[in-house]
Structure 1
Amino acid sequence: MAKNFLTYEQQLHILEYDKQLAIPNHEYATKKLEELSYYSLIGGYKSLFKHAPSNKYIHGVTFDELVSFYYFDEELRTLFLKYILHVERHIKSMFSYHFCEKYGEQQSMYLNINNYNHTRKNHRELLRLTHSLQKVIATPSKYAYIEHSVNTYHNVPLWVATNALTFGQISKMYQYATTDIRTKISKNFQNVSEKQLHQFINIIANAVMYVLMESVYFHSE
């Protein structure tokens, strides 16, 4: 069922009288709805503060508390991403270095499933991975450096391609890389075994995907 357009005043009226959300300052609340939007602020956090059976806010919850929670969540996600990106750059750099050290700089090397730990069980996964890598370096590309490398050298070395790869793709490349490459990479991280690094990379890749999806959801309206 389509939602009807509501003015800010109507939105606040519903929150205050129908949903029983305390709104101490209507002028402040209106400004926050203008800045953040109803669905980013109210839609994103309503389940945390509502009494499920009645679908009304828990007694005493205020509009200001929702705003504070929104900004806290936003800062936490920003901080989380900041440090994850440091790890991501390090992993990308180490992987491209050690992979190219073993197989060379030709793109055909990282697009070849036989240069990974290829088994009958992971054959389809590796085909999907290399297909996704091929799409990243295909032209036309939104990345000028990919276009330049293809047009000038007819080749996109891994150290160039990694800038356009997602951390999820790099984590899959690491997952299926041969043991000697994974071991060399893990030695760059003090007091971390190859097995532990493998687990960390999977966790970080999933965390990046979750945080980015949350960011898109909360800021899409």
Structure 2
Amino acid sequence: MKGFKTIEEQIALLESRGMIVGSDAATILLRENYYAVINGYKDPFLDKAAMQSSADDVYLAGTRFDWLYGLFKLDRELRQITFSYLIQAEAALKTATVYAFCDKNRGISDYLDESSFCEPKDILVPKAFRKNKVALHKGNLQRLMGVLKGKLDPDKPHRPFTEHYLQAYGEVPLWVLSNDLTFGNMSHFYQLMKRGEQNAVCKHLSETTLRGTKDKRVTPHDVLRAYEVLVHFRNLCAHDERLYCAMKDNDTYATMLRVLEIALPKTTIETMKGELHDLLEKYQDQLHVITVSDLQTQLGLD
């Protein structure tokens, strides 16, 4: 494990590896963190050929600290733009899921009854799933029940809105409690719903995204896929992780853009893409090694 290095030692290390470091780098590293800036964004600027004969990183000739920091700042703004749309998609998916469930299960506390959910053989799984559905159902349902009941545990602190309903009515409806459930919690909730209710979710989403009769029909598997992809990218944004080249399995930023159309109107997606184009234009003279065309391809904007 590498030991602690002062800012001065960090700069000396970068210079020893061929980077041109300006006078403002010390302040930036102290504010932003060496690992976040350098380790997160160095790859496009490394001289891969020279590194074949070196145990350390070697930067391309002429590489400046400002170039890495420019990519770092672009990615931060990319996260800010993306997150603002992902939370809209989160709200749309959660609302459609809660509405469909409560419309079929009218008891206020029906969501705490395991019989309100599907049978093990009917759990919705990705099309490539080849494992044990019964085991998956059992584990997911137990975890979901633990989360739901934990939110109502009298020995644990409650959110103000939960506390209000418990004090006033003795129970909390799902449409209230859902505000205290994570996007991931709701993904598991949707996966365990009965198929008729999942179809109702699809119908609600088609209506709220203003899909026309000629648009592709939204299926329960489409919504499950949307939950899976959007939860992952939302968490990347929320935890300030690298986004522009992020990939989970084969899911890239471009995948996320396509999946967003399940939850948001096309006009909203086009507005988002316009903001992304403006962002790339803003940074086009600061990227140097990476071209705007490269980024457009990676982001699915080409």
TM-score normalised according to structure 1 size: 0.85
Q: Does 1:119 align with 2:144?
A: no
Q: Does 1:136 align with 2:151?
A: yes
User: Contact between 1:118 and 1:126, CA under 8 Å: does it hold in 2?
Assistant: no
- Unpaired runs of at least 5, structure 2: 122-133, 244-302
Identify the residue that residue 12 of structure 1 maps to in structure 2: 11
**2: CA distance, partners of 1:138 / 1:48:** 50
Give the stretch that moved more between structures: 171-180 or 188-197.
Answer: 188-197
Moved over 6 A (4+): none
CA 1:138–1:49 in 2, change beyond 3 Å: closer, same or farther?
Answer: farther
1:162-216 deviation per Cα after TM superposition (whole angstroms, max 9, x unaligned)? 1111111111111111111111111122244223223222221222233334x16
Task: For residue 102 of structure 2, give the secondary structure of its aligned residue in structure 1.
Answer: helix
The partner residue of 2:230 within 199, 204, 214 is 204
Letter in 2 for 1:205: V
Displacement after TM superposition at 1:72 (Å): 0.8
**2: CA distance, partners of 1:48 / 1:148:** 52
**2: CA distance, partners of 1:46 / 1:90:** 37
Identify the residue that residue 203 of structure 2 maps to in structure 1: 187
Displacement after TM superposition at 1:95 (Å): 1.6
Identify the residue that residue 104 of structure 2 maps to in structure 1: 102
Letter in 2 for 1:45: Y
Displacement after TM superposition at 1:2 (Å): 6.0
- Unpaired runs of at least 5, structure 1: none
Give the stretch that moved more between structures: 192-201 or 174-183.
Answer: 192-201
User: Contact between 1:113 and 1:127, CA under 8 Å: does it hold in 2?
Assistant: no
1:6-27 deviation per Cα after TM superposition (whole angstroms, max 9, x unaligned)? 1x333212211x222122x21x
**2: CA distance, partners of 1:49 / 1:165:** 41
**1: CA distance, partners of 2:143 / 2:165:** 24
CA 1:10–1:142 in 2, change beyond 3 Å: closer, same or farther?
Answer: farther
**1: CA distance, partners of 2:165 / 2:31:** 42
1:43-78 deviation per Cα after TM superposition (whole angstroms, max 9, x unaligned)? 322344334543222323210011111111111112
* RMSD of aligned residue pairs (Cα, Å): 2.3
Structure number with higher helix proportion: 1
1:69-105 deviation per Cα after TM superposition (whole angstroms, max 9, x unaligned)? 1111111112111111101111111222221121125
TM-score normalised according to structure 2 size: 0.64
Displacement after TM superposition at 1:119 (Å): 1.3
Letter in 2 for 1:3: G
Identify the residue that residue 85 of structure 1 maps to in structure 2: 87
Task: For residue 147 of structure 1, give the secondary structure of its aligned residue in structure 2.
Answer: helix
